[in-house]
């Protein structure tokens, strides 16, 4: 299969994998696959060849992840900022995308066999329509597979993603589905393009750059960040193991930080809810004010109503998104 | 003072805003104060201090006292030329000195600030003063308040063994260079300056 290299690990690789798997393993790894152009320069080939090699390396890395039991991978394939590159390079990358997505659609049997769910995350309307259609077909064809998940960020930046999530919540308020007070961190989480995935445990960036470049800024706030100097097309199984070892060394500190962050978040939500209930009770008059049972009942009622509103809103959002893909498919049919 | 300013000028590029992020459990006020004072001495205009437990923020005045003390020790007589303003009423704790400004931040300035801005925008929408299509990246950026007046950090100096930003300004660090140092405890000026040197050597392509 073109997107996931066939093949098993070598004996030495398997030996290493077994050692690593004795420790905690990331369930979701994100990659900033940087260095294709520098690789091309180094090897004296065209940039386009560098990007092509980069794709081959992606296929190989996905195979390694599956061999290691890593079920979910997110990659930064094309940033909205990359549209600023020369027309020649952008067209070349779009052609590569056309090629690879078309190929993907020809391999439906394999996708089914491996249970690969493909998601494409980004401001898709920015892309040429024919690519949008290919993407829609790939996403709809694999949407029910659940053995492993590949998220491709295409025409993506994190700030656009976060703004989009806020815009969707505002749309929800406009539609009468949400109250402004329903807006919370956890609701924003559910409005991101990545809402069906857990946060990445590990983010790897190759080629030596030590920045996030507008990739998954919200989702990686407590992820293990590993910056490696190897150029992406030269990435090896050992580089991957090295990154996972770093993850393992950070594991308990990050768990602890994440847990205390979530605890604080829960506490603040509870405080907000209590304040709301207090105000409601004050409105009802001083008789209700000290009544703790009344307070509990009101708190439960408010929470339940909010939950209901949020479920309704998320369903509407889901429909909107599914609609977008389905409409693209009927156009191309 | 002459020496530090000259050091700053000798670098190919100097960051405009440096985030000092501590991932160690026990922060040291004296060492953080040194780092802040060195940043200002070298000519960095905006400095922010962060730890994921919010310890510096809660003990803001203790940090300010340390900074004042270090300023007097390191920069000596020249200190009298500068008016040091404390904005203790301001919860972010801004200290203005010469041409530098300091903010002390915690996780509530990160995602929580984005959520607050989102809630406020949704309130405007509920009051029909805005529509959802009004919201874009620039609008949201303007609505954030945790770093009012500060440009995005160009550089984060991350201290400690944890390979994570632990919630430091997620929105603002989209293009920030993240340079890691093993610890902020007993940090030397040489180590600090060598990190700045490293930053000066980074090539930034901005997606192009």
What averages of pLDDT result for each successive group of 10 residues across chain A (333 residues)? 83 96 98 96 94 94 94 96 93 93 90 93 96 95 94 97 98 97 97 97 97 97 98 97 98 97 94 90 72 88 96 97 92 58
Band of the pLDDT at B84, cuts 50, 70, 90? very low
Token couple for A297: 């009942």
For residue A282, the model assigns a pLDDT of 85
Residue A202 lies in a domain: yes
Instruction: Please answer yes or no on whether B132 and A174 come within 8 Å at the CB atom.
Output: yes
- Distance separating alpha carbons of residues A56 and A61, to the nearest angstrom: 9
Residue B1: pLDDT above 80? no
Residue ranges with strand state E in chain A: 28-32, 72-79, 116-121, 148-156, 202-205, 224-227
Residue A3 lies in a domain: no
Instruction: Please return the burial class of B142, using the count of CB atoms within 10 Å of its CB with bins 0-12, 13-18 and 19+.
Output: exposed
Indicate the pTM of the whole model: 0.93
Query: Which chain B residue is nearest to residue A222, measuring alpha carbons?
Result: B166
Residue A180 lies in a domain: yes
Question: For the segment B54-74, what is each residue's pLDDT rounded down to a tens digit?
Answer: 999 999 999 999 999 988 887
Share of chain B above pLDDT 90, in %: 71
Please report the sign of the dihedral spanned by the C-alpha atoms of residue B13, residue B8, residue B189, residue A257.
negative
ipTM above 0.90, yes or no: yes
For residue B76, the model assigns a pLDDT of 65
Token couple for A60: 């190989």
> From edge to edge, which strands make up the β-sheet containing B177-181?
B85-87, B94-97, B100-105, B46-51, B17-22, B155-159, B177-181
Band of the pLDDT at B183, cuts 50, 70, 90? very high
**Contact between residue B104 and residue B56 where contact means Cβ atoms under 8 Å apart:** yes
Residue A4 lies in a domain: no
What Cα–Cα distance (Å) separates residue A317 from each residue in A37, A61, A163? 38, 33, 15
* Segments forming the whole domain that contains residue A255: 11-331
Residue A49 lies in a domain: yes
Number of domains in chain A: 1
Residue A2 lies in a domain: no
Residue A6 lies in a domain: no
Q: What is the CATH number of the domain that holds A140?
A: 3.40.1180.10
For residue A333, the model assigns a pLDDT of 54
- Distance separating alpha carbons of residues A238 and B189, to the nearest angstrom: 36
- Distance separating alpha carbons of residues B15 and A155, to the nearest angstrom: 29
Instruction: Please answer yes or no on whether A173 and B171 come within 8 Å at the CB atom.
Output: no
* Residue B99 CA, distance from chain mean position: 15
Band of the pLDDT at B2, cuts 50, 70, 90? low
For residue B94, the model assigns a pLDDT of 43
The DSSP code for B151 is P
Question: For the segment B188-202, what is each residue's pLDDT rounded down to a tens digit?
Answer: 999 999 999 999 987
Query: Which chain B residue is nearest to residue A245, measuring alpha carbons?
Result: B163
For residue B81, the model assigns a pLDDT of 42
Interface of A with B in 199-218 (CB under 8 A): 209-214, 217-218
Residue B83: pLDDT above 80? no
Token couple for B198: 């490293």
Domains of chain B in sequence order: 2-107+149-201 (3.40.1180.10), 111-145 (no CATH)
- Is A197 an 8 Å CB contact of chain B? no
**Contact between residue A233 and residue A53 where contact means Cβ atoms under 8 Å apart:** yes
Band of the pLDDT at B5, cuts 50, 70, 90? confident
- Is B164 an 8 Å CB contact of chain A? yes
**Contact between residue A1 and residue A114 where contact means Cβ atoms under 8 Å apart:** yes
Residue A148 lies in a domain: yes
């Amino acid at each position: 299969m073109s997107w996931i290299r066939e093949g098993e690990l070598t004996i030495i690789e398997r030996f290493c994998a077994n050692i690593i798997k004795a420790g905690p393993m990331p369930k979701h790894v994100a990659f900033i696959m940087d260095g294709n152009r520098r690789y091309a320069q180094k090897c004296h080939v065209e940039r386009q060849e560098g990007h092509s090699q980069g794709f081959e390396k992606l296929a190989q890395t996905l195979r390694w992840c599956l061999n290691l039991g890593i079920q979910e991978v997110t990659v930064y394939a094309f940033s909205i900022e990359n549209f600023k590159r020369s027309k020649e390079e952008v067209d070349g990358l779009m052609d590569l995308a056309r090629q690879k997505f078309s190929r993907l659609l020809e391999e439906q049997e394999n996708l089914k066999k491996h249970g690969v769910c493909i998601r494409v995350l980004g401001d898709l309307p920015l892309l040429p329509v024919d690519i949008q259609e290919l993407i829609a077909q790939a996403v709809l064809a694999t949407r029910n597979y659940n053995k492993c998940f590949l998220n491709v960020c295409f025409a993506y930046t994190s700030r656009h993603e976060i703004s989009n999530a806020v815009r969707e919540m505002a749309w929800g308020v406009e539609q009468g589905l949400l109250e402004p007070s329903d807006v919370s961190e956890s609701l924003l989480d559910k409005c991101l393009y990545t809402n069906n995935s857990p946060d990445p445990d590990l983010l790897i960036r190759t080629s030596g750059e030590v920045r996030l470049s507008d990739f998954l800024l919200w989702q990686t706030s407590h992820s293990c960040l590993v910056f490696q100097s190897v150029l992406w097309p030269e990435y090896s199984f050992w580089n991957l193991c090295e990154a996972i070892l770093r993850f393992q060394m950070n594991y308990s500190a990050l768990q602890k930080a994440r847990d205390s962050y979530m605890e604080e978040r829960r506490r603040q939500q509870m405080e907000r809810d209590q304040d709301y209930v207090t105000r409601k009770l004050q409105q009802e008059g001083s008789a209700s004010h000290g009544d703790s049972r009344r307070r509990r009942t009101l708190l439960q009622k408010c929470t339940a109503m909010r939950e209901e509103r949020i479920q309704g809103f998320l369903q509407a959002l889901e429909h909107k998104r599914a609609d977008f893909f389905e409409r693209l498919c009927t156009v191309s049919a | 003072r002459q020496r530090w300013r000259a050091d700053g000028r000798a670098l190919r590029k100097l960051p405009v805003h440096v985030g000092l992020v501590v991932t160690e459990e026990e922060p040291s006020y004296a060492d953080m104060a040194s780092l802040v004072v060195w940043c200002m001495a070298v000519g960095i205009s905006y400095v922010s201090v962060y730890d994921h437990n919010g310890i510096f923020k809660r003990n803001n005045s203790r940090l300010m006292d340390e900074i004042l003390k270090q300023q007097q020790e390191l920069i000596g007589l020249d200190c009298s030329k500068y008016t040091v303003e404390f904005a203790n009423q301001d919860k972010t704790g801004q200290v203005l000195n010469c041409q530098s400004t300091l903010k002390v931040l915690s996780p509530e300035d990160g995602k929580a600030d984005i959520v607050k801005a989102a809630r406020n925008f949704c309130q405007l929408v509920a009051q029909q003063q805005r529509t959802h299509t009004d919201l874009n990246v620039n609008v949201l950026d303007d609505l954030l308040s945790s770093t009012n007046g500060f440009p995005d950090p160009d550089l984060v100096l991350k201290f400690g063994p944890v390979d994570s930003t632990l919630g430091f300004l997620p929105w603002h660090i989209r293009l920030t260079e993240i340079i890691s140092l093993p610890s902020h405890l007993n940090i030397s000026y040489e180590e600090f300056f060598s990190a700045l040197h490293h930053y000066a050597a980074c090539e930034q392509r901005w997606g192009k």
